[in-house]
Chain A
Amino acid sequence: MNLTGNDVQEIVSVKSQLDYFFKIKDLGQLKFFLGLEVARSSKGIFINQRKYTLELLDAAVLC
């Protein structure tokens, strides 16, 4: 599950609520999710599917 928002305090409170009811494991900032790779820096966010593309190329067969 991903949580996004511009209010850090709100995210923290939602996380603690979820943890209270369901016991969640916080994996920190988003890096890899469903084939999407996410890189963050002060300049912005970069998303690509490099690994997914590699797997696609690897699996494809010529005929």
Chain B
Amino acid sequence: MLGCKTSTIPMDPQIKLHSKKSHLLEDISMYRRLIRQLIYLTNTRPDICFAVNHLSQFLSAPTMTHYQAALRVLCYLKTNLGQGLFFPSDCPLQLKGFCDSDWASCPKTCRSVTGFYILLGDSLISWRSKKKHTVS
């Protein structure tokens, strides 16, 4: 994948991923391994948090479409490999939090995906993208 084209966004907003029971990947462990590695990468890459969270919902029955979407994340990562987190030494100890929700975007379960991040001064200290447990 080192020779792949680069992508400016981690996920195609036009593509809707669904869980299907047919046309499963022959090697499911390959998909799972890739998602596992991407999850570890979210430690310093909050920008792929949403995409990885979305893709990890299909671990039980991934199809080719899901795998291609995961490879798209890799193409995005290739554009800026060295991106990471910066914690400035001189920043005020002011806590700021931001959150958003997508108003029940999941067509099957009617549950929302919510995202938040918390800054201490200018340092990012906590972030997450998560599908809610309940319909709200």
**A49 CB–B CB distance under 8 Å:** yes
> In the complex the two chains form, what is the Cα distance from A52 to B84 in whole Å?
12
**B30 CB–A CB distance under 8 Å:** yes
> In the complex the two chains form, what is the Cα distance from A48 to B67 in whole Å?
25
A63 and B84 contacting across the interface, CB-CB below 8 Å: no
Q: Which residues of B contact A49 (CB under 8 A)?
A: 40-41, 43-45, 84
Across the A-B interface, how many residue pairs have beta carbons closer than 8 Å?
74
**Taking the nearest CB of chain B, how far is it from the CB of A57, in angstroms?**
5
**A61 CB–B CB distance under 8 Å:** yes
Q: Which residues of A contact B41 (CB under 8 A)?
A: 49, 52-53, 56
Chain A residues at the B interface, C-beta cutoff of 8 Å: 35-37, 42-50, 52-54, 56-63
Chain B residues at the A interface, C-beta cutoff of 8 Å: 1-2, 4, 30, 34, 37-38, 40-41, 43-45, 64, 67, 71, 74, 77-78, 81-90
Between-chain CB contacts (< 8 Å), 26 pairs:
A36-B43, A43-B88, A43-B89, A44-B90, A46-B84, A46-B86, A47-B44, A47-B86, A48-B82, A49-B40, A49-B45, A49-B84, A50-B84, A52-B40, A56-B38, A56-B41, A56-B74, A56-B77, A57-B2, A57-B4, A58-B2, A59-B1, A60-B71, A61-B1, A62-B71, A63-B67
